[in-house]
Amino acid sequence: MNESVILAGDGLVKKFRISSRRASSNMLTAVDGVDLTLNRGESLGIAGESGCGKSTLSKIMAGLLKPDHGAVSYKGSSLTGLSGDGFSQFRRSTQMIFQDPYSSLNPRMRIGDSISEPLGIVGMSAERQRAELTRIMNSVGLDENVRNRFPDEFSGGQRQRIGIARALAANPEILIADEPVSSLDISIQAQIINLLLQMKSDLNLSMIMVSHNLMVLRHLCDRIIIMYLGVVVESASAPDLFNRCRHPYTEALLAAIPGLGNGQNSREKILNDDLPSSMSIPGGCRFHPRCRYAADICQKEVPKLFEYASRHTAACHFSKQIYG
Ligand code: SF4
């Protein structure tokens, strides 16, 4: 194992059975053969449209969902091979932050008790728990005097701070956040993004951030992978992805960002229809029905991920011809 890799997914596949009489297939393919690595201290973004499999992938990496095939390794050991204690340690070391912090908080529990719950699990004395609670609440910008209030007394941004505080109380090495700011007002989004950046640098956390918003990931992440219908189509450092993308789908996502596209490549021109269903995935390159560069080969042959530059991979038959 590369010593710097803290979490890795190898050949991950996850399908869900759907009950529908009208569907031609009753299996929905959410993740379809994904490899990924997270290095210590790195923040990795996972982007793509709704339904591309990014949330499912993040839950697999957090150990909340079991893959049908493939394995997740934590510090070189497969999760399936971990003992009960080993798996508990992994679950403490890997904390999730959810899109809707309200749903992850017990509405009948005072927020001080919610945040300090993980401290009690590791056997911390009541006196130390109190001191830790104060420290953690201060670190995320919450006044300790509100610890006796209930979740419904807080705004969305404050609830997300509570969710982050609860995650930090477990003293994690890895944070996995699924759309952590998408339910918040724009002004609050910036506060939470800055808080996550500060936590990452203060605590040397490794992070996986899931978002449909590439600009959020650009601020938060060192590296970004782009998913399309369950597979990774591009992976690059955040600057490389924004300055020199190498996949037509990434190009289309970037062109859709207000102020970033060149004005001619509007989303209507590049992505003029919806993501196909994950229950009937197109053959060949999955993106071919929506790709403006598609040729005959794209309908027949699956493009492989190819490394065009250091740690910059893309899966497109014509990447070199299109992007040089
Ligand atoms: Fe487009 Fe073909 Fe490249 Fe797929 S392989 S992204 S269809 S050009």
pLDDT at position 196: 92
User: Are 180 and 209 in contact, with CB atoms under 8 Å apart?
Assistant: yes
**pLDDT band per the 50, 70, 90 thresholds, residue 3:** low
- Ligand 1 atom with minimal separation from the 303 CA: 5
Task: Read off the pLDDT of residues 7-49 as tens digits, 9 standing for 90 and up.
Answer: 999 999 999 988 766 655 688 999 999 999 999 999 999 999 9
Is the CB of 294 within 6 Å of ligand 1?
yes
Mean pLDDT of the chain: 90
User: What residue segments make up the domains of the chain, in order of their start?
Assistant: 222-324
Could you tell me where the beta strands, DSSP code E, fall in 167-305?
Answer: 174-178, 206-210, 223-228, 231-237
Summarize the confidence of residues 142-170 as an average pLDDT. 92
Cβ–ligand 1 contact at 124 (below 6 Å): no
The most confident of the ranges 142-146, 163-167, 231-235 is: 231-235
Task: Tell me, using a 6 A CB cutoff, whether residue 291 lines ligand 1.
Answer: yes
Q: What is the pLDDT of residue 105?
A: 86
Measured in angstroms, how far is the CA atom of residue 230 from the centroid of ligand 1? 16
pLDDT value at residue 261? 56
CA of 275 from ligand 1 middle (Å) equals 15
Residue pair 30/230 in contact by the 8 Å Cβ criterion: yes
Buried b (16+ CB within 10 A) or exposed e, 51-67: bbbbbbbbbbbbbebeb
Q: Give the pLDDT of residue 235.
A: 98
| Three-state SS at 44 | strand
Region 141-167: mean pLDDT is: 92
CA 25/CA 94 separation, integer angstroms: 35
Q: What is the reported pLDDT for 256?
A: 86
Provide the pLDDT for residue 258: 82
CA 299 – ligand 1 centroid, Å: 9
Give the atom of ligand 1 at the shortest distance from the alpha carbon of 297: 2
Q: pLDDT of 263-289, one tens digit each? A: 444 444 567 677 788 888 999 999 999
Is the pLDDT score of 172 beyond 50?
A: yes
- Residue 100 pLDDT: 80
What integer pLDDT is reported at residue 119 of this predicted model? Answer: 85
Q: Which pLDDT value is given to residue 2?
A: 61
Q: Using CA positions, which residue lies closest to atom 5 of ligand 1?
A: 316
Distance, CA 287 to ligand 1 centroid (Å)?
A: 6
* Span 210-263, pLDDT tens digits: 999 999 999 999 999 999 999 999 999 999 999 999 999 999 999 988 877 544
Q: Report whether pLDDT(128) > 70.
A: yes
- Range from 9-23, 75-89, 150-164 carrying the lowest mean pLDDT: 9-23
Residues 7-43: b if buried by 16+ CB within 10 A, e if exposed? bbbbebbbbeeeeeeeeeeeebbbbbebebbbbebbb
Residues 6 or more apart in contact with residue 220 via CB below 8 angstroms = 43, 45, 193, 196, 197, 200, 207, 209
Distance 285 CA to ligand 1 centre (A): 6
Q: Is 206 helix (H, G, I), strand (E, B) or coil?
A: strand
- What is the four-CA torsion angle of 123, 128, 130, 136, rounded to 10 degrees? -90
Mean pLDDT of 289-304: 95
Under a CB-based contact definition with an 8 Å cutoff, are residues 210 and 177 in contact? yes
Element (H, E) at 309: strand 306-309
What predicted TM-score, i.e. pTM, was given to this entire model?
0.91
pLDDT at 267: 45
Could you tell me the sign of the dihedral formed by the alpha carbons of 210, 56, 30, 315, in that order? positive
Kindly state if the Cβ of 323 falls inside 6 Å of ligand 1.
no
Please report where in the chains the tokens 């982007």 appear, as a residue: 47
From the list 208, 215, 256, the residue with the least C-alpha distance to 55 is 208
Q: What is the pLDDT of residues 85-125, one digit of tens each?
A: 888 889 989 999 988 877 778 899 999 999 998 887 777 88
Q: What percent of the chain has pLDDT over 70?
A: 94
Please tell me the distance between residue 293's alpha carbon and the centre of ligand 1 in angstroms.
6
Determine the average pLDDT of the residues in 122-140: 88
Please give the Cα distance from 72 to 79 (Å, whole number). Answer: 6
Q: Which pLDDT does position 22 carry in this prediction?
A: 60
Q: Looking at residue 263, what is its pLDDT?
A: 46
- Rounded to 10 deg, the angle between the 126-139 and 156-169 helix axes is 130
C-alpha dihedral, 114 to 116 to 118 to 122, nearest 10°: -150
Q: Residue 1 pLDDT more than 60? A: no
Q: Please indicate whether residue 228, judged by its CB atom, sits closer than 6 Å to ligand 1.
A: no
Check if 245 has its Cβ closer than 6 Å to any atom of ligand 1. Answer: no
Q: Is 74 in the pocket of ligand 1 (CB under 6 A)?
A: no
What's CA 49's distance to the chain center, in Å?
12
